[in-house]
């Protein structure tokens, strides 16, 4: 007569397996949490964007950039402080001006932020 095979798990073995599963889960969560910056790529945010139509020739572009190694304003390198904040003055030409903020991270991923401005001299507005 053949005897049935029975597996006897002791409570100790079950607790070991549960602890291993919990440890792997916590490690995986921590790994993905820390990798969020790598996954997100470079980010540019402008604060208090200037109005599209201006009668002031010089405007100020102020914002933050995260996860970057390089930052350009109209293909001219600009720099951030330790917190990723930048503050750049931009002289806009008569008529229509397109401005491009471009950032690159260490994996050569790029992001662009394009804004357009229209300068109308005050003498034209009065007429």
- pTM for the full predicted model: 0.69
- Report, as an integer, the average pLDDT of 81-102: 92
Cβ–Cβ under 8 Å, residues 123 and 55: no
- Report, as an integer, the average pLDDT of 79-92: 93
The strand order across the sheet containing 53-54 reads: 53-54, 110-119, 95-104, 70-73, 76-77
**What pLDDT is recorded for position 40?**
83
């Amino acid at each position: 007569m053949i005897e049935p095979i029975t597996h006897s798990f002791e409570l100790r073995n079950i607790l070991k397996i549960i602890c291993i599963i919990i440890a792997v889960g916590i490690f995986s969560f921590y790994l993905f949490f820390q990798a969020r910056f790598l996954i997100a790529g470079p980010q540019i945010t402008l604060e208090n964007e200037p109005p599209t139509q201006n009668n002031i020739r010089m405007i100020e572009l102020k914002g933050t950039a995260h996860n970057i190694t390089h930052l350009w304003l109209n293909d001219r390198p600009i720099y951030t402080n330790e917190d990723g904040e930048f503050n750049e003055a931009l002289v806009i030409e008569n008529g229509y001006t397109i401005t491009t903020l471009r950032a690159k991270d260490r994996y050569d991923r790029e992001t662009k932020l394009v804004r357009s401005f229209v300068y109308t001299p005050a003498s034209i507005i009065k007429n």
